[in-house]
Amino acid sequence: MADQILLPFDIWTNRAHCIMLQKQDIISVNCLEKILTGLGKLEKLFEEGDFALDPEKEDVHINVENFVTEDQGVDAGGRMHIGRSRNDQTACDMRLFLRSSCLKLFFAVKNLGFALRCRQKKTLRALCLDSHTTSLQWSHPGDTGSAHTYRDFAETSNGLHLHFP
């Protein structure tokens, strides 16, 4: 089921939404505790590979709600999505999924750049003979470009939280 990839993010958004519901006195502390307990169990099962979405239950949101309902009772499971549309749930889950994917990609590219830079330094040292170092110094245009790229990645990562709040 395609929604399987959204499950961790749906758990996260359900936690946040239910905490908000309790802070607004819409659900009780006891109800919140039950919901969070059910979501915690679901998260653990998913991380261990012991939970898969049931295609009969339509989508990730209904699967999560049904799990909490079966685990913690109708009162808890039935109150999870008060004041929340399916569109809102999907938009929140997708935003968190895309944020996570962008961060993973960014850091993978950053690590690749670092690995290439390290490899470049090792290769340069191996190629530099005492009489032939002039064109292979760190001011060489090919190296300067990679140094600038790596610098830009480092600067971007420092302010990454501004782009992905």
Lowest mean pLDDT among 4-18, 67-81, 134-148: 134-148
pLDDT, mean of residues 82-99: 92
For the beta carbon of residue 141, count every other beta carbon within 10 angstroms. 6
pLDDT, mean of residues 129-148: 53
Domain boundaries in the chain? 2-84, 104-163
Q: What is the DSSP string of 42-79?
A: HHHHHHTT-----GGG-SHHHHHHHHHHHHH-HHHHHH
* Distance between CA atoms of residues 35 and 50, nearest Å: 20
List the CATH code of the domain at 2-84. 1.10.275.10
Q: Both tokens of residue 22?
A: 């309790």
The pTM of this model reads: 0.72
For the beta carbon of residue 143, count every other beta carbon within 10 angstroms. 16
- Strands in 1-87 per DSSP E: none
pLDDT band for position 120 (cuts 50, 70, 90):
confident
Average pLDDT, the chain: 82
